[in-house]
Amino acid sequence: MRIRTREENQTPPPVNGEIHAALQELGEPAVHRAALPVVQPVILAGGAGTRLWPLSREQFPKQLLNLIAEDTLLEATANRLAGVAALAGRPDGMEAAQIVVCGEEHRFMITDMMKRAGKPARVLSEPCGRNTAPALTVAALHALAAAGEGGDAVLVVTPADHSVADVAAFREAIATAIHHADHGAIVTLGVKPVAPETGFGYIRAAGGADHGAFMLDRFVEKPHLELAKHYVESGEFWWNSGIFVVRASVWLRAVAELQPEMARQCRAAYAASERAACAGEVLCLGKEAFHDCPSDSIDYAVMEKLETLPDVAGMLVPLDAGWSDVGSWAAIWDIAPKDASGNAGRGRVLFDGASSCLAHSEGRLIACVGVQDVVVVETADAVLVVDKAHVQDVKNIVQRIRSEHGNEVVNHRKVRRPWGCFDSIDHGDRFQVKRIVVEPGASLSLQMHYHRAEHWVVVRGTARVTCGDNISILSENQSTYIPIGTLHRLENPGKTPLEIIEVQSGAYLGEDDIVRFEDNYGRK
């Protein structure tokens, strides 16, 4: 395989008609391994993380949160994967843009975060969630399309919402995994268990290590407590980190043999994909085909069935790098800095006579007095208080709120949009007050509402307002009125953020009372 230049590696693969031609090569690809493998980072950024409510919401899941440090979990993952090409002996200049697979509703925030982290990314937008196996399959198709005819790539696949304390040790394990994956194995990274954790899947390894890797014996799902204790005491089992390293062609062949319907629908969804109108680096998968794709995890779909593929070896590389899946508030407490009494706090937090507590404030002061083993999390619209021993049960509260149609599981009070954000600061039966911030050069869609009128007051910046056939410029302290059923648009023509106070009034004030006629961000 010829070595691709840096410019070629950062050029998005073909779309639509050209993809059909490229996919013709993927049935039985004539792949030629290079002396130095092309290494392709893949970040799986789907999922909601309900156990970290009230910070994690459906529209703002945990991978987009800075739960541990200033970087979000996604940004930390992207930084950790930077330079993986050098692990295979390739110079840093040969680094491929990272592939990020995410939900359609998160693609704007993820694109912005990857840019902020300084990491070029190709974002694959899923129209609906179908678990990790289809996500990895479309990423493998994308990697082969980018590699060109006869090309291949070693995929380094990791969830976006995990934490790794020792990045050097992580990269050492990845380098070992790349070596075995380049020779045709599907490699997973396993973490030696330190406690009988019932929230993790487990992997049993067989025999002794060969060049830093064990042969896989079997995957087992999350066990009950007594079985988890047996796994830990036996010394034969590892926690499943969810990190995989595999050649794209090997993965596609395994999926085609073990999950033919999944393979077919993923190919169809990728062939029908289109670049988002707002950014060439976002590829929106075909909705109909991806919706019809079976939903399954990497473990269930392929790894538990590898023994039926005699020509594909499953291997485990140990990962000893301070790994955490950041799967609960207890996991956050485990890895957070603590005071002499074992308390971990973030934001406006005070402890007095408390021990082994976690408190996270998004604004208001939290005071923990004389309590122990308690988690307190405050946001603008919800407060969680839970015993650390029961943090896994937070998901039950989330289900109750969802059954009552509470918005607290969907969005924060402050909602991010591709043009900026809005904060619902007050509401009643027939009114709602929002603080809206529009970024420089951005604009909302050309839209109308059937059930509400809007009053806008500019408090900072300059607004260009379309209201029916009129276009006007408003400065600070000026206002306007948008009647019910009137076509309108708000734009920021300036170089500083535009901030307005919006008062909505009417019989229905839901976000679904928006009819879009034109939109710069490809939303319907």
SS (H, E, C) 373-411: CEEEEECCCCEEEEEHHHHHHHHHHHHHHHHCCCHHHCC
Which CA distances in Å does 451 have to 425, 427, 513? 20, 16, 7
Residue after which a domain boundary falls, among 403, 427, 447: 403
Residues 360 and 506 in one domain: no
Residues 359 and 256 in one domain: no
Going by pLDDT thresholds of 50, 70 and 90, the confidence category of residue 94 is: low
Q: Which residue has the higher pLDDT, 88 or 240?
A: 240
Residues 222 and 95 in one domain: yes
Residues 297 and 347 in one domain: no
pLDDT value for 21: 44
Give the Cα separation of 91 and 9 in Å (integer).
13
Confirm whether 298 is domain-assigned.
yes
pLDDT digits (tens, 9 = 90+) for 104-117: 889 989 998 998 88
> Which H or E run includes 291?
helix 287-291
Going by pLDDT thresholds of 50, 70 and 90, the confidence category of residue 29 is: very low
Which domain covers residue 183, as residue numbers?
A: 6-324
Segment 32-40 mean pLDDT: 71
Please report, for the domain that includes residue 19, its CATH number.
Answer: 3.90.550.10
Give the Cα separation of 381 and 390 in Å (integer).
22
pLDDT digits (tens, 9 = 90+) for 193-224: 888 887 788 898 887 777 788 988 888 878 88
pLDDT value for 69: 83
Which is nearest to 158 in space by CA: 40, 327, 300, 43?
Answer: 43
Going by pLDDT thresholds of 50, 70 and 90, the confidence category of residue 35 is: low
Residues 186 and 304 in one domain: yes
Confirm whether 29 is domain-assigned.
yes
Q: Which residue has the higher pLDDT, 129 or 9?
A: 129
Residue 34 pLDDT > 60, yes or no? no
Q: What percent of the chain is modeled with pLDDT above 70?
A: 90
pLDDT value for 231: 85
What are the structure tokens assigned to 408, written together?
């607290």
Specify the length of the chain in residues.
524
Sign of the C-alpha dihedral, residues 127, 199, 347, 379? positive
Give the Cα separation of 155 and 157 in Å (integer).
6
Residue after which a domain boundary falls, among 354, 383, 403: 403
E strands present in 223-364 = 237-247, 274-275, 282-284, 314-318, 323-324, 344-346, 349-352, 358-361
Residues 379 and 448 in one domain: no
Overall number of domains in the chain: 3
Confirm whether 331 is domain-assigned.
no
pLDDT value for 11: 39
Q: Which amino acid type is present at position 523?
A: R
What are the structure tokens assigned to 304, written together?
């538990």
Which is nearest to 57 in space by CA: 346, 432, 382, 291?
Answer: 382
pLDDT value for 99: 96
Which is nearest to 154 in space by CA: 242, 252, 39, 43?
Answer: 39
Confirm whether 329 is domain-assigned.
no
CB proximity list for 102: less than 8 A, separation 6 or greater: 45, 46, 110, 123, 124, 125, 126, 160
Give the Cα separation of 273 and 267 in Å (integer).
10
pLDDT value for 16: 42
Please report, for the domain that includes residue 468, its CATH number.
Answer: 2.60.120.10
Going by pLDDT thresholds of 50, 70 and 90, the confidence category of residue 24 is: very low
Residues 157 and 300 in one domain: yes
Give the Cα separation of 40 and 494 in Å (integer).
39
Give the Cα separation of 472 and 479 in Å (integer).
11
pLDDT digits (tens, 9 = 90+) for 255-311: 999 999 999 999 999 999 988 655 557 899 999 999 999 999 999 999 989 888 888
Residues 189 and 290 in one domain: yes
Strand-strand pairing, 237-247 and 163-164: unpaired
Residues 287 and 435 in one domain: no
**Cis geometry, peptide bond prior to residue 54 (ω within 30 degrees of 0):** yes
The per-residue DSSP string of 151-168 comes to: ---EEEEEETT-EES-HH
Give the Cα separation of 177 and 166 in Å (integer).
17
pLDDT digits (tens, 9 = 90+) for 349-379: 999 999 999 999 999 999 999 999 999 999 9
Confirm whether 332 is domain-assigned.
no
Mean pLDDT rounded to a whole number for the chain: 88
pLDDT value for 278: 52
504 CB-side CA count, 13 A: 26
Residues 349 and 450 in one domain: no
Q: Note if the pTM is more than 0.75.
A: yes
End-to-end CA gap in the chain: 42
Residue 150 pLDDT > 80, yes or no? no
Strand-strand pairing, 414-417 and 420-427: antiparallel
Residues 393 and 437 in one domain: no
Confirm whether 290 is domain-assigned.
yes
